[in-house]
Amino acid sequence: MMAQVTPMISQLDRRYKTLQSQRSNWERHWQELADFMLPRKADITKHRTQGDKRTELIFDATAIHAVELLASSLHGMLTGPSTPWFSLMYRAADLQRDDAANEWLETCSDQMYKAFNRSNFQQEIHELYYDLVVFGTGAFYVEASDSGDLRFSCRHIAEICISEDAQGRVDTVYRKFKMTARALAMRFGEQNMPSVIQRDLKGDPYKEHEIVHAVFPRGESGAKTAKNKPVASIYYHADTRMLLSEGGFDEFPFMVPRFVKDSVSTYGRSPAMTALPDVKMVNKMSEITIRAAQKQIDPPLMVPDDGFLLPVRTTPGALNFYRSGTRDRLEPMNIGANNPLGLNMEEQRRGAIRQAFYVDQLLLGQGPTMTATEVLQRNEEKMRLLGPVLGRLQAELLQPVIERAFAIMLRNGKLPQPPESMQGMDINIEYISPLAKAQKLTDLQSVMRGLEVLLQVGQVAPVQDYIDSDKLIKYLVDTTGIPASVIRSDEEVAKLRRQAEQQQSQQADQQQQMEMAQQAQMVAPLVKAVS
């Protein structure tokens, strides 16, 4: 395939420019957010070279530390590497009681955890949380490596333009990025390169070129490809608009979560946007405070206009000469730099920043004087604050990531094939992360308190007939996250109960026989006496 300009590429490029124009207002906002709170990504509207200093605007690091705390907390509470954070289960209730089905799903879950930890998932997902906290929108890309394993990447917010479908789900992503001529030839083949890249490949192979990657539902471009996948994937050269590659995906490869989102916006909003006025104010106040402190420590000097032999030396141990017999001296200028009001205002603004990023709630720990009730109450407070965020992240990030990873691994033979009777059955995803567990434990606490009340009432009224003990135990197992591998099946439980009933029946028969024998021994003398 020779590189060429096609009507499809022209159409896609017009669509990309439209989406780029719609994003322009957000770009200025993102740049300001990055300047003050995520300086290593502050190259959205500014063109910076690698290695440049990017903290020249920052005089107070409160917001930077708050961003790090919230991003790390979300990472640990949702997708932490040390604890399982999801499990698979069948949607059909009868399959949930099937031992073979549950064992297959547990095997798949274990293999997926190993694949996640073996890949770069943890590094890239952590970077995504930074984007969500600061920009309110992130882009997470999931693909298969050459070996069939999983590979993840967090795309820079400056590279992507997005569009939603009628249900508000992101189904179109245009990504504009740079690649060297050498990397392009390795990726797409030298014969598929435009002439300008082919020339650079021979003369300057490390020169970068801008590439656009368009991912959208198949059929919107009016083109049919050889692969004919449900999701189109097209690469083209931005300058020459030459087609580089045309293919597709079985699932949408981009996850584009939003921290919070209103109904009229495509891009999300973030805690950093809420805190931005306070961040800018405390930075300006800190700058002024630093200058005032500098003037107080090293104040300007008042020098008589005719009493000294200039220049005036202010270095340690320096000698300054003046005419003897005069009262001329070097005196510091009193500028009144000690301003406690300004320091109090700074601390108030820092408190507002920490509040915007939930710092106080996230740092609530289990102190030595805290009771179990206080710990539970503080965990419930965290759930109230982060619960809405969890719901959106589950729908826009976690579920698509798991579904995409599951499909890739199943196609590439990284997962065992399901039993014949289970093929084509729908699978549900259950989240068992620390945050999800905390939400379930809140419900569990309500159930336990209800059971305590019922036990007290049971002393004066029959309440046990209203409680299905088997269903109660299954609810407790599901809520606490006990693995299915250590839980007996319904058939095993029924067998054990039959055995117990048989043993009890045998013991009852034996006891009855023993009582009858004792009675016979007691009656025998009487019978003998009568006879």
Q: Phi and psi dihedrals of 478, rounded to 5?
A: -65, -40
Residue 1: the pLDDT is: 42
pLDDT given at position 40: 93
pTM of the shown model: 0.80
User: Distance from first CA to last CA of the chain, Å, rounded?
Assistant: 119
pLDDT at 466: 72
pLDDT at 282: 94
- Percent helix, strand, coil in the chain (nearest 5)? 55, 15, 30
Extract the runs of DSSP E, i.e. beta strands, from 205-359.
Answer: 208-217, 231-237, 243-249, 254-255, 301-302, 331-332
Residue 12 burial (CB count, 10 A): 23
In sequence order, which residues have a C-beta less than 8 Å from that of residue 424 and are 6 or more positions away?
none
Say how far apart CA 144 and CA 162 lie, in whole Å. Answer: 22
Task: Let me know if 131 is exposed, middle or buried by CB neighbors in 10 A (0-12, 13-18, 19+).
Answer: buried
pLDDT of residue 339: 66
Per-residue pLDDT of the chain (531 residues; tens, 9 = 90+): 444 567 889 999 999 999 999 999 899 999 999 999 999 999 999 888 777 888 888 999 999 999 999 999 899 888 988 888 888 887 766 666 666 777 888 899 999 999 999 999 999 999 999 999 999 999 999 999 888 889 999 999 999 999 999 999 999 999 999 999 999 999 998 888 888 999 999 889 999 999 999 999 986 555 454 467 899 999 999 999 999 999 999 999 999 999 999 888 999 999 999 999 999 999 998 888 888 877 777 788 777 776 666 777 778 878 777 777 666 777 777 776 566 766 788 889 999 999 999 888 787 655 556 666 666 666 667 667 777 788 889 899 999 999 999 999 999 999 988 877 677 777 888 887 766 766 666 666 677 777 777 777 777 677 777 777 777 777 777 666 666 667 776 777 788 888 888 888 888 878 877 877 777 677 666 656 655
> Domain residue spans in the chain?
274-362
E strands, 91-134, are none
Neighbours of 280 (CB within 10 A): 16
DSSP 45: S
- What pLDDT is recorded for position 367? 54
- Tokens linked to 44: 């959205």
